Amino acid sequence: MSQLSIAHVPRPMRHFTPAQHWMNDPNGLFFDGELYHLYFQYNPHGVEHGNMSWGHATSSDLVNWSEHPVAILHDERHDIFSGSIVIDRHNSSGLGDGSTAPVIALYTAAARDGSNQAQALAYSLDGGYSFTKYAGNPVLDRNSADFRDPKVFHYSGPAGDYWVMVAVEAVERRVLFYRSENLLEWDELSGFGPQAACAGVWECPDLLELPVEDSAETKWVLVLSLNPGGVAGGSGTQYFIGDFDGTSFTPDHEQPARDHTDFATLAEGAWLDWGRDNYAGVSFHGLPRNRCTLIAWMSNWDYARQLPHERWRGSMTTARKVDLLRTDTGYAVRQRFVGLPAAAAAESYGAGTHELALQGPTLIDVQARDLGEEPVRARFFRADGSPLSELLLGAQQISHQRPSGRVDHELYPSTQHMPLPPSDGRLCAQLLLDAGSLEVLAAGGLRSLTDQLTGEETPARVLLTIPGGAQSDVACTPLPQHGSTATQELK
């Protein structure tokens, strides 16, 4: 595959990017009561994937990020693959110093020769800024080359109070559940899968207990990333809703394992996102259920290694708050953008084409009614007047057509399709535009579509075409232009 060389890759203002070098999956997200901590797969030596370590950034609002020195560095034997963090407030591990609750990282120690992946532990006594690798590593080893991505949380329920680890046997498409009293010794509880989409390996699991809106009910949601075989091609994330009794996860609907990659079959599943660039999303430890928040890597393994760069490569999605809604067809995950200002006043538009001028990152709310077969059409343009991409916002489906633009890779130009729940001719969508990306939430947050627009500035203008017979209310809200700040010296 060839790669287009460009002079400048604009850095997004509303999404985290590393000051330099390669970044992929988010790891070890936690909230310490004041700051949100984001760790991430990171190559401290260059802009290519490799030498996996944990980079580190913090934020008080999930929008403005400060980057810190590498938190957990690879060594000559192991790369530091994905994992999670918990605060061991009662010092169940015995790794605290008597005055500070240890911050415990569970991660995959991946043998650099590819022979084994086991779960290891590192601990921090300074709030998560520096870590010591546990002398007794690994803490869990199945003698498997594909056992990875531990997500740990504290379970408290009828079965007792203990730590639970959710991990995957990636190639077998199985989720494994483990129990521990001290984070050091783990006993296997049960397994789940293979079910639903199985055309690629399973990675980066998360198990969330989420509230159901307007009720005292909660349900458990198992989130699983899949590569390849996602609904939009390449990397994707599916989810299952059900119950967890402290030992086993039981989905509300059993599904056969399917290794198909055709859209019609995949669209029967439940997907966290219908775009090309939302992968490996996980939640923050330390937040209450009603504030459960996820961040994902905004890329796709189909082309991530070949994307144009300028000393840095990789970005995260906007943080999203998640909960559940009860719908006519069952429960569904709802996502809402975090960290947005109050919306601007909406303007009413009738049939015809209307121009919106943008001055940087922008949130566009589109509320349309009386839509027939024709969708609302949103065409995005660069400052020089050339077309960038196009959205078709229908009452039954949203589609995003992304040409190659500034990326020279055969798998990058694509059209994504996102079916919507029945709506009686109404459309409700939020479009979050930033340099290098478009994120769409629709149907009140029940649908999400995330696409990179790599190498691009935020669109300079939008032509919004309302079809005949329809009416639309549009609010165009400029977003404060923040960014990521490195506290380590660039080299």
* Active-site annotation, residues: 25
H or E segment to which residue 392 belongs: strand 387-393
Residue 421: asked if its preceding bond is cis (omega within 30°), the reply is: no
Q: In 197-325, which residue ranges form alpha helices assigned H by DSSP?
A: 263-266
Q: Classify strands 427-434 and 347-349 as parallel, antiparallel or unpaired.
A: unpaired
Q: How many CB atoms lie within 10 A of CB 90?
A: 10
Say how far apart CA 222 and CA 241 lie, in whole Å: 6
Task: Confirm if 374 and 468 have CB atoms less than 8 A apart.
Answer: yes
The pairing of beta strand 65-72 with beta strand 484-486: parallel
If you count them, how many residues does the chain have? 491
Q: Using CB atoms within 10 A of its CB, is residue 3 exposed (0-12), middle (13-18) or buried (19+)?
A: middle
Among the residues of 182-288, which ranges form H helices?
263-266
Q: Which of 121, 166, 181, 172 is nearest to 145 (CA)?
A: 172
Q: Do residues 74 and 52 touch, judged by C-beta distance below 8 A?
A: yes
Helix, strand, coil shares, percent, the chain, to 5:
5, 50, 45
Give the angle 396-399-405 at the CA atoms, nearest 5°: 170
